Amino acid sequence: MAQYKKQRPLWHPSFILTWLVVFILYCIAQLPLLWKHKIAQKLGGFIHKKMKSRVKACQQNIEGCFPELSKPEQEKLVKDCFVSTSEGFVETLQAWWRDLTPYMNKLEVVGLENLRDAQSRGGGVFLIGGHFGIFDIALPFIASQLKKPGYMYRPNGNPVVDWMIESGRQRNVDIQSFHKRQLKDMIQYMKEGGEVWYAPDQDFGKKCDLFVPFFGVNAACISTPSWIAKESGAAVVHVSQYRHPNGHYEIVFSPVLENFGEDIQQDAINWNACLEAAIRRHPEQYFWLHKRFKTRAPGEASFY
């Protein structure tokens, strides 16, 4: 956990306002999911009007990645992204404080044979994913298909928020979390048969050491996934997740990405290609609000 968490206990008076926010979110979580989705639709429209910088980034991402769409189609996709992201937020509250069994019972799993193939190879499984809006509700869905689940996360600087997130993610499944300073522990976990979800699809700035095509745009990437795969010896599978109408969800496991870890450039090309194909099914559900193309290759003009 973050060092900040060790300095002050969760009940410290300085966290009173944070606890108030946690209580409000808990109360919202008690509403039926259908009601929460209706709230999210309104919230998404409101945020789309107010968060100008995020709207601009999303617009530029959509324009660059979907040039085949007309301007009205691009504008609609941008608005849908904000609504989908808001729906992901209320689904997160559902995952943190409610029983997900009814949704797990209706879960559609595609490519389960691919996951079983990866598990049968005698080592761990390295699940490469992406930042879709439904991550927190999808995490227990994915973990429910695994034998020894884990995931990588970024700790929150506020220990109360970090506690809320981590305890919420443990509510419906028993899953091991790892942060960036625990890579060696995570690798050992996979060597012992662990199956870890990791999303390397954001712009990590100066840490990026590769550039590969993503929707036809040169995107900065890190070679860490290749290093993890090579050090752990785990079978690598791409996983994606989707929201469908009427409370149905779907997770998809790709075939094993063979020889992953041998060529960092080819690895990045492969997992970006998997992610792009997954996004194209439901592009509004991806987190396009992030400045994915902020870091440019030498000599390339700014994307934003």
Q: What is the pLDDT of residue 5?
A: 43
Task: Give per-residue pLDDT as tens, 104-113.
Answer: 999 999 999 9
Q: What is the pLDDT of residue 6?
A: 56
Residue 303 within a domain: no
How deeply is 14 buried, as exposed, middle or buried, from its count of CB atoms within 10 A (0-12, 13-18, 19+)? Answer: exposed
Q: What is the pLDDT of residue 4?
A: 44
- State how far the Cα of 176 lies from the Cα of 197, in Å rounded to an integer: 10
Task: Give per-residue pLDDT as tens, 140-177.
Answer: 999 999 999 999 998 888 999 999 999 999 999 999 99
pTM over 0.75: yes
The 3-state DSSP class for residue 270 equals helix
Query: Measured on CA atoms in the order 166, 172, 176, 178, is the torsion positive or negative?
Result: negative
Give residue 102's domain range: 3-285
- Token reading at 10: 């969760």
- State how far the Cα of 231 lies from the Cα of 224, in Å rounded to an integer: 10
| H-run or E-run covering 94 | helix 71-97
Residue 290 within a domain: no
Residue 300 within a domain: no
Residue 302 within a domain: no
- State how far the Cα of 294 lies from the Cα of 119, in Å rounded to an integer: 36
Residue 296 within a domain: no
Q: What is the pLDDT of residue 245?
A: 85
Q: Measuring CA to CA, which residue among 191, 278, 271, 211 is closest to residue 236?
A: 271
Paired residues of 214 in beta bridges: 217
**How many other CB atoms are found less than 10 A from the CB of residue 67?**
11
Name the stretches of the chain with pLDDT < 50.
1-5
Residue 270 within a domain: yes
Residue 295 within a domain: no
Residue 166 within a domain: yes
Domain count, the chain: 1
- State how far the Cα of 193 lies from the Cα of 41, in Å rounded to an integer: 41
DSSP designation for 205: G
